[in-house]
Structure 1
Amino acid sequence: MLLVNRLKSEFFGSGVFVHTLVSGSRNIGKGLFNSQCLTSYLGLLLLAPGLCAHENVLSELDILGAIPSARIASRIEQTTNRAPASVTVIDQELIKASGAQGWVDVFRLVPGFQAYSVNANRPGIAYHGFGEELPSRLEVMVDGRSVYMPVFSTALWDDLGVELEDVDHIEIVRGPSASSQGSNAFLGAVNIVTREPLQDHGLSTGLTWGSRGTRETRFRFNNHLGPLSYRLSLASRHNEGFPGIPASDAGKVDDGRELYQGAFRGTLTPTVVDVLDINLGFVRDRAGLGDADHPDEFIGTRFYSGYQSLEWQHTFPDGDELSAHLYHNSLRVSGSANRGLISELLGVEPALIPLLIGVEDQPFIEGLGSLASERYDFEIEHQLRINDELRGVWGVGARSEYTRSQLLLGHDNKIREEAFRGFAHGEWRPLHGWLFNAGFMIEETFVGTLVSPRLSISRLLSPDHTLRLSVSHGKRAPSIAEANLNQRIEIDGILLDPVIRSDEDLHEEKVTSTELAWSGNFPAMSLMVETSVFLEQARDTLDAYEEPLAVPALFSDEDKVQSNTGEWESKGVELQATYRPSPAALVRLHYTYRDLDSDFVRRLEPEMQLGDFNASRARHAGGLLMNFRWTPSVSTGLTVYHQSKVNWRAGNFIDEFTRVDVHISRSLRLSRYAGELCLVVQNLTEDYSEFNDENVFGSRYFLTFNLELP
């Protein structure tokens, strides 16, 4: 993988890509960025071979010589066309070339993913999701360390402690992957692989200025001390969030951010067969949280997170590998706001409050309050090759974690959970042209023993073409917070509003996935294509129904109960293709069609009522990325993304939109120093909303300057 990345970096190191859905002859832009402009740009790409005759330019075969490889699907290093599931690999060159300013921009490059801004600094990222504020069915890892936070039942994307510049590549499984990555990988899995310290040397710094009061600084220092190679990264980010909402009396919405983070990665090689990987980091973040439908209720919330990770890997003489990985994650969150006296909120005299609600008049405090989450995880893994036809991996692991939250759990005590797991996967080539992948994960959790298997059969039609049929069954245990949810608004023991609680008999969610996929590599055409047809059937999924209270609360006579009362069937088609008409040009397409049939219980009494969330997905979504490098130092690009209408479950109805971005970068040589200047303009088309109507995404401008000092 590193060889492929370095070959590509020789020419595409700061290229630019374009992203759009190809659908009819619809005008995709305004002003200069219309269909004629796009046609002209495509023409330049096709004429690129004649424009780029340069003695230092790599040939197409040099760049296209290898298909990306990944380990995330089966825990065995495999090229993506040999993996048991659909895998997308996003490398550093593509991240830089796309002009991505954050994780939402990155995951818009992946078929089947929904990526949106819940508010200005809270991303929502899910695979085949339904528009939740906190998507919970995607496993997210950084260098193999899970960053899934049990107190929120999701990953806090902006608090990962990883800068985009420190990413080497991202491995993404598009589909259920509980068989290899465990319960949280119910619908997919992501592993963000950071750059090895040996890949860079010296000091580099970066600055970004832009819309929304954006100010970002980055420092990275790479060096070595004997057998230890290390990287130290520091960064800060500031923005002012979405603009004020004219229709709101609140005016400016407090959803800005002030973030500081640091990370250390060291690679120690005490012997030629042993490697010790050390990762440490922290994040200090202050961000405004709230619901855009109530802009005056945003609350400044502080996040304090840290992690420590130690991984040892030993290589045996026969090539087998043994590894042990120990890590620790911690999170502390605090945020509250004094909304004023209860009498002021209700608009009554203070003397009437004891008569109305049975307590003395007092300040009403709102917010997350104080919550905490902590996790320890240990895993041993053995990679082995039995013969030329059979190789595999097996391992065991244990996890201990706790969660504490007065707001979410109804008390301030710690709730602790232990889980144990074992896994095994094998790749078998019994006959020429046939490849079998099989694996399973067994987890011992508080809901019982969960077994998640997967079987994949691949027909290798030729070295460049593969047809794959895979079937998997996954189970997901509720997180600590989901299983113990008891959110209530109380004052001095008086129940004002029961918000939501968990059913006492929660059990695991279940999903069965079937996929038929074809991948093709056409070296003569410089083209790679991968398409799949999928069917996902989920049952016993977590949802909430309403039930009447035996004793009504002051402001509500109903309670919400989270239970295993949901189910859905999702089916569709995904496509991704990469075309390089010349070494200086790149075209990359992806498209998703998804149909959804679902139901859930709205209420049980006095008679059962059912509902559905069939509209909570975009039926069509996709993009086309184009990149053209005019000279070894100048590249430009155009990015267009399209999504059809959707009614998010936790958001609003969002009409279809098409977004157009442009990107231009210029490499600089300043004496002994190498630099780069990059301008990104996002959304040249009409303003649109992604999740909440009130959060309007207008045109944005970002200027970035990077400098490397040897």
Structure 2
Amino acid sequence: MPVSLWAMEPMMPLADMPAMVLTPARVSQPQSEAPASVTVIDRNLIEASGARELYEVLKLVPGMTAIKVDGNVPTVAYHGTQARDSRRMLVLLDGRSQYQPGLSRVNWNDMPVDIRDVERIEVTRGPAAAAYGANAFTAVVNIITRDPRDISKHTVSVRGGNNGILDGRAAAVGHGDNTAWRASVSRRADDGYDEPFEGETRPDRKRIETLNTEWVWESDSHNTFALQVGGSQSRLERQQESGVADIGRYTREPVQKGERAFLGLEWQHVFSATHQLKISTYGQYNKEVTDFGVCYLDPFTGQQGPGGALLFSQELRELYSQNGGDTAATFAAVPTSGPVLSRYGSLQGVAGVNFCADSELDLQEERYDLEVQDTWQINDRMRLVSGANVRHDRVSSQAYLSGTEDNVSYRLFGNLAVDVLSPLTLNLGGYWERDQINGEHFSPRGGVSWRVAPGHTLRYVYSRAVRTPDIYEDQAITNIQALDMSEPFASNPEALLGWSPSYFFITQSSPGTLKPEKIRSEEIGYYGQFRFLELDVRYFQEELTDLLSHALNPFEFEPNNEGWVKHQGTEAQLTFRPTVNHLLRLTGAHIHTHTNKKTETRIAARDSGSALWAWQLASQWGVSTAYYFANDYNDYRYERADLQIRFRHRAGPAELEWRAVIQHALNKEPIVFEENQYQEDRMWLELEMKI
């Protein structure tokens, strides 16, 4: 009899299964004893969701926002606050931090992994800096890829649908006496938002290719080595910047091109059944360039012409600096500025031409990381995880930093679990770190788990964490250069603009005095396992202070720590598996958010949730359906229903599986911002062949 589509192994009743998690305290432990609320999304749940992109399955996490705010750029945030700058959550991919040091963000598009390479996702809901350091601020998403020792077949799949959806993937696997390897390449492409806004089609197509490989060698019973190599390439059409559109006419729409590569090595040594050592190191490289072309308007006439070149003149830059970086004050002072008026007059002598130029927002990031972790079962009642880490981040950018900046950090951590009494477990953790930008910080966490009855646990957790300012926030010196200028400006920029190279007159500089954002969190939770049902309920209070709530881009730059947010609410998740062929998953969150900055409420939904039901109809047929809602994102309600039908059969030596998926928006409202029109149903058909 063929194996169930959603249960690859016969499934025991939930009460008899050891629900183990790895992420909260860096050690495998029963979920009931973990010092945090945890959501686990395993391979079966990923397949049942029908998700096409990795970020989408995080809709199954209570309190999580996972949407596309800018057409082709996913925003993922736990207890979401700012819509476009989601920088308060740590994401790990096989232990490698995907939190990028340059702009404090996680780029979900360029993540060098396909969703079909993922075995399991563990989400620690709540601050986890005590285990992972600064920037594990509101939550940790730990993405774990498939172990090549657990894969036996090669795979090829293709997917096509409306809205320009065209995807493909090929994966191979191999096994030796004590080695195993896997490799996959994939491609995803679609057209982004499909509805025009104000009569114009939004430019937000994307194309992404990924490579992900792993090689594992078990040299003996005590030593295991792993090597991971991969990367990604992306091309995204981006929407016009409103600040640029106000001063010019785009001649070439913005296009963002990205490249990413990584190399990771890991050695695990088992001293005994109760003691093991892990040493891991990795290097990551990321390059991103957004280029565009503009013909600039004369700031006095509002028309195209040579006067637009004044915006890139040395004299206007100097006047801008003299007026404290205030654009309005700068232009108010122009009538009394002899150098600016002289420059403008000379430009009027260049008759009959427009000033046009290309520009680019460039960013190159490198990270080198080395970590040693020791896991020791001291006795029957005590478990200790401790370790040290050193990391070097380097960021280069002409547009954001006017050069290259480095940050070296050092870390020590420890997490201790003690069974104080038979039903009572105490978890204590702390993380000390020091870096060149932010100095020293210590993040503590304490938790108590009380097993009130077999399979039923109450917990209390207190934690504090910080999010340190990134290199851009702390050391920004923006300079947008005019490239490939129109003639005669390209031939003689020093004579016509006063300098070479020539830069946009607006420049932004960070004061270098920003403090880390802080969070203090308390929660009371219940975790229960019944014969067919698993339930986790959490009540929490979170206080976020010293927040950087204002825009920090080359056109709007307001660096300060004036923001604060207070969250208070309840979350619940329920998994019900009455038989091997049925799965019901329900999540819900009710959160009250109070803040002094409206920007922090845009994706802070009061009520949100999801429901997923999967049913294996017969040996070959399966169906799953899901419902997601959030009320509201920036006053717009989000509501969607998905349906997936799967059919599996054999064709000679190959196993074929057909999947048909439809995603239906139930309320037809924009997503967060008015321009995000995403009203047409998404539909695709996929064929996967395994040999």
Amino acid at match of 1:282: G
1:120 aligned residue (55, 71, 75): 71
Q: Is the CA contact (8 Å cut-off) linking 1:328 and 1:376 kept in structure 2?
A: yes
Name the residue aligned to 1:641.
628
Q: Distance in 2 between matches of 1:545 and 1:143?
A: 32
On the 8 A contact 1:255/1:298 being kept in 2, the answer is no
Alpha carbons of 1:155 and 1:196: their partners in 2 closer, same or farther (altered >3 Å)?
same
Gap regions ≥5 residues in structure 2: 311-339, 483-496
Tell me the SS of whatever aligns to 1:335. strand
Aligned to 1:449: 440
Residue identity opposite 1:424 in structure 2:
G
Take 1:623 and 1:352, find their aligned partners in 2: how far apart are those partners? 52
Task: Give the TM-score normalised by the residue count of structure 1.
Answer: 0.83
In structure 2, what is the equivalent of residue 702 of structure 1?
684
Q: For the residues of structure 2 that align with 1:521 and 1:450, how far apart are their CA atoms?
A: 38
Q: Which one-letter code corresponds to 2:405 in the other structure?
A: I
Amino acid at match of 1:696: Q
1:521 is aligned to 2:529: yes
Structure 1 residue identity aligned to 2:619? P
**Structure 1: runs of 5 or more not aligned:** 1-8, 16-56, 547-554, 601-610, 648-653
In the TM superposition, what is the alpha-carbon distance from 1:185 to its structure 2 partner? Answer: 0.5
Select 1:306's aligned residue among 237, 261, 270.
261
Partner of 1:486: 477
AA at the equivalent of 1:145: R
Indicate the residue corresponding to 1:584 in structure 2. 581
The answer to which of 512-521 and 493-502 deviates more is 493-502
Q: Any idea what the Cα deviations from partners look like across 1:207-248, whole Å, max 9, x if unmatched? A: 110121111110000002443210011111222222251523
Specify the alignment match of 2:381 in structure 1. 389
Aligned to 1:316: 271
CA contact (8 A) 2:195 2:677 kept: no
Q: What's the CA shift for 1:542?
A: 1.6
Matched, 1:350 2:299: no
CA contact (8 A) 2:644 2:662 kept: yes
Q: How many angstroms apart in 2 are the aligned matches of 1:128 and 1:208? A: 33
Identify the residue that residue 40 of structure 1 maps to in structure 2: none
Pick closer, same or farther for the CA change 1:596–1:300 going to 2, 3 Å.
same
Higher strand share: 1
What code does the residue aligned with 1:428 have?
A: V
Partner of 2:460: 469
Aligned residue for 1:533? 539
CA offsets 1:253-288 (integer angstroms, 9 cap, x no match) = 321112222121010111111011110002111111
In the alignment, which residue of structure 2 is the partner of 1:80? 31
CA distance in 2, matches of 1:633, 1:367: 55
> Could you tell me how far apart the structure 1 residues matched to 2:173 and 2:561 are?
49
**TM-score normalised to the size of structure 2?**
0.86
Aligned twin of 1:26: none
Counterpart of 1:435 (choices 418, 422, 425) is 425
Q: CA deviation at 1:706?
A: 0.6
What amino acid is the match of 2:237? G
Q: For 1:522 and 1:499, how far apart are their aligned partners in 2? A: 60
Percent identical: 26
- Cα distance in 2 for residues equivalent to 1:108 and 1:676: 25
Q: Cα offset for 1:351?
A: 6.1
Query: Secondary structure in 1 aligned to 2:596?
Result: strand
| Aligned 8 A contact 2:359 2:480 in 1 | no
For 1:349 and 1:198, locate their aligned partners in 2 and report how far apart those are by CA, in whole Å: 65
What is the Cα deviation at residue 501 of structure 1? 4.1
- Residues 338 and 363 of structure 1 are in contact (CA less than 8 Å); yes or no, is this contact kept in structure 2? no
Of 132, 137, 147, the match for 1:181: 132
Deviation at 1:646, TM superposition (A): 2.8
In the aligned structure 2, how far is the partner of 1:474 from the partner of 1:289?
34
The reply to whether residue 340 of structure 1 matches residue 337 of structure 2 is: no
1:222 counterpart (170, 173, 184): 173
Cα-to-partner distance string for 1:368-400 (whole Å, 9 max, x where unaligned): 433201000000000001100001110000000
| Residues 441-481 of structure 1, C-alpha deviations (whole Å, 9 max, x = no match) | 00102221100000001111122000000100112211112
Which deviates the most, 497-506 or 466-475? 497-506
Residue 671 of structure 1 aligns with which residue? 652
Whether 2:516 is the aligned partner of 1:504: answer no
Q: 1:515 to 1:437 in 2, by over 3 A?
A: same
Q: 2:194 & 2:396 partners in 1: Cα distance? A: 34
Decide which moves more: 254-263 or 285-294.
Answer: 285-294
Measured in 2, the distance between the counterparts of 1:391 and 1:513 equals 24
Q: Cα RMSD over matched residues? A: 2.7
Counterpart-to-counterpart distance in 2, 1:575 and 1:247:
40
Q: Which residue of 2 aligns with 1:46?
A: none
**Structure 1 residues 206 and 351, CA, compared in 2 at 3 Å: closer, same or farther?**
closer
**Contact kept in structure 2, 1:456 and 1:468, CA below 8 Å:** yes
- Note if 1:276 corresponds to 2:263: no
Question: 1 CA distance for matches of 2:227 and 2:293?
Answer: 43
C-alpha separation in 2, matches of 1:140 and 1:202: 29
CA distance in 2, matches of 1:158, 1:68: 31
Alignment of 1:243-282 (within 5 A): 243=194, 245=196, 247-248=198-199, 251-282=200-231
Asked whether the equivalents of residues 360 and 480 of structure 2 are also in contact (C-alpha less than 8 Å), the reply is: no
- CA, structure 1 residues 335+365, in 2 after alignment: closer, same or farther (shift >3 Å)? farther
- TM superposition shift of 1:616: 4.8
What secondary structure, in the 3-state scheme, does the structure 1 residue paired with 2:16 have?
Answer: coil
Alpha-carbon distance between aligned partners in 1 of 2:672 and 2:47, rounded to the nearest angstrom: 26
Is contact 1:503–1:563 with CA below 8 Å preserved after alignment?
no
1:201·1:221 contact (CA, 8 Å) conserved in 2? Answer: no
Q: Alpha carbons of 1:73 and 1:282: their partners in 2 closer, same or farther (altered >3 Å)?
A: same
Q: Using a 3 Å threshold, how does the CA distance of structure 1 residues 58 and 225 change in structure 2: closer, same or farther?
A: closer
Paired residue secondary structure (2:379) = coil
Conservation of the 8 A alpha-carbon contact between 1:541 and 1:567 = yes
Per-residue displacement from partner, 1:602-661 (whole Å, max 9, x unpaired)? xxxxxxxxx7745651100001111111102111122111111232xxxxxx42132111
Give the C-alpha shift of residue 674 in structure 1: 1.0
Mapped to 2, the partners of 1:92 and 1:630 lie a distance apart of 19
- Distance in 2 (CA, whole Å) between partners of 1:246 and 1:128 is 29
Kindly provide the amino acid, as one letter, of the partner of residue 432 in structure 1: S
**Secondary structure class of the residue paired with 1:106:** helix
Answer with 284-293 or 435-444: which moved more.
284-293
Aligned AA for 2:645? I
Count residues with an aligned counterpart: 627
Q: Does 1:599 align with 2:596?
A: yes
